[in-house]
């Protein structure tokens, strides 16, 4: 059994193994699904797992440290029960803002996994302060584990958004790799925003209307070609929809295991109309993939 306890006083970057999966902890009650996702992510990728908790700088430091220790002990026990002794597990505690801490750790992480305690933008005071904040700035993919609105539904794997503005190779690569790792099918949703989309609710394009958009569907297929060859085990399909990309993607979220959305541009310029909207509105976990991130699809090279 390998568990490393990290303490305050050293730089965050020096304490996280390169390429680790980072699980941000706030409270464990009701958040075990997010922690389970982080454990599985680390096991499937052959990466270390780092449990991270930020201490509140206000109030009693001794009380905060005691509460943090209990949280990490409970999380460690949960991880060991799920993963066994073979997982390389680390613990890191630091005082300060959790968003800043996690963004700092993201520069060397494979992925960050965070929980969410509510649905919809109305909960942005909780969700936005950390999950959306980290999604806006992180250098690696951020997986926000949203609770399923309808737990009993049959789910259909991974869905990734595509639009006329382009196809991020990082976003598609992450989606393909996630589908391959977990044995799920992949759906690429290409959203078309035109005059017809402006006067209708988001909807899939079929029949003769789809034939008129065949050139756009083929562009998406071309972007997928190399990744399809690298992942012959992934059963992938392309759906064309009319509507805003974030609305087309979230409309299918209730029936997906994971939604993947790209974050275009510099870290602090994430538009609320795209990735943030998906994170706030989705009924399933969401992975936000920065377009400028280093490769996130590598398995453990060892």
Is 133 domain-assigned? no
Q: Are residues 95 and 13 in the same domain?
A: yes
| Parts of the chain with a pLDDT under 70 | 1-15, 27-30, 59, 117-128, 148-154, 163-167, 264-273, 292-302
Whether residue 16 is contained in a domain is answered as: yes
Task: Verify that 106 and 165 share a domain, yes or no.
Answer: no
Phi, psi of 259 (to 5 degrees): -105, 140
Residue 281, domain extent: 158-290
CA distance 71 to 289: 28
pLDDT score of 230: 94
One domain for residues 101 and 168:
no
Structure tokens at 167: 């196809």
- Whether residue 260 contacts residue 175, with contact meaning beta carbons closer than 8 Å, is answered with yes
Q: Are residues 58 and 176 in the same domain?
A: no
What pLDDT score was predicted for residue 149? 62
CATH assignment at residue 43: 3.40.50.620
| Residue 87, domain member (yes or no) | yes
| Of residues 127, 54, 64, the one with CA closest to residue 275 | 127
pLDDT of residue 299: 56
Rounded CA gap, 140 and 198, in Å? 33
Residues with Cβ within 8 Å of 65's Cβ and at least 6 positions away in sequence, in order, are 55, 93
Q: How many domains does the chain have?
A: 2
> What is the reported pLDDT for 245?
80
Partner residues linked to 204 by β-bridges: 241
Distance CA 170, CA 89 (A): 27
Q: What's the confidence (pLDDT) of residue 21?
A: 97
Q: How many CB atoms lie within 10 A of CB 166?
A: 13
Last residue of a domain, one of 115, 146, 166: 115
Q: Which residues of 89-123 are buried (b: 16+ CB within 10 A; e: fewer)?
A: bbbbbbeeebbebbbbbbebbbbbbbbbbebeeee
Both 72 and 172 in one domain: the answer is no
User: Cα dist. 23→12, 34, 208, 296 in Å?
Assistant: 14, 8, 47, 16
pLDDT of residue 3: 61
Its pTM stands at 0.85
Q: What is the pLDDT of residue 156?
A: 87
Report the C-alpha gap between 143 and 131 in whole angstroms: 9
* Token pair belonging to 168: 């991020």
């Amino acid at each position: 059994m390998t568990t490393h306890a990290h303490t305050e006083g050293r730089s965050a970057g020096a304490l996280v193994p390169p390429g680790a999966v980072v699980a941000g902890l706030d409270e464990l009650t009701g958040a075990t699904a997010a922690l389970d996702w982080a454990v599985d992510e680390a096991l499937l990728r052959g990466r270390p797992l780092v449990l991270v908790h930020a201490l509140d700088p206000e109030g009693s430091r001794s009380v905060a440290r005691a509460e943090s220790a209990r949280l990490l002990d409970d999380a460690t026990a949960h991880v060991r029960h799920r993963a066994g002794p073979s997982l390389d597990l680390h613990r890191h505690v630091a005082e300060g803002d959790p968003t800043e801490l996690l963004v700092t750790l993201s520069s060397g992480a494979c992925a960050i996994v965070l929980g969410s305690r509510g649905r919809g933008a109305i909960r942005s005071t909780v969700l936005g302060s950390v999950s959306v904040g980290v999604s806006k700035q992180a250098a690696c993919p951020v997986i926000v584990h949203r609770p399923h609105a309808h737990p009993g539904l049959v789910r259909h794997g991974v869905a990734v958004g595509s639009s006329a503005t382009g196809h991020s190779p990082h976003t598609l690569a992450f989606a393909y790799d996630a589908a391959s790792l977990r044995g799920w099918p992949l759906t690429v949703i290409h959203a078309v925003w035109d005059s017809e989309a402006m006067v209708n609710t988001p909807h899939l394009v079929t029949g003769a209307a789809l034939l008129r958009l065949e050139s756009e569907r083929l562009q998406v297929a071309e972007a997928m070609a190399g990744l399809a060859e690298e992942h012959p085990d992934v059963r992938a399909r392309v759906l064309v929809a009319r509507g805003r990309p974030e609305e087309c993607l979230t409309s299918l979220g209730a029936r997906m295991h994971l939604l993947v959305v790209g974050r275009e541009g510099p870290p602090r310029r994430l538009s609320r109309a795209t990735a943030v909207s998906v994170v706030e509105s989705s009924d399933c976990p969401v992975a936000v993939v920065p377009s400028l991130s280093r490769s996130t699809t590598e398995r453990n090279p060892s």
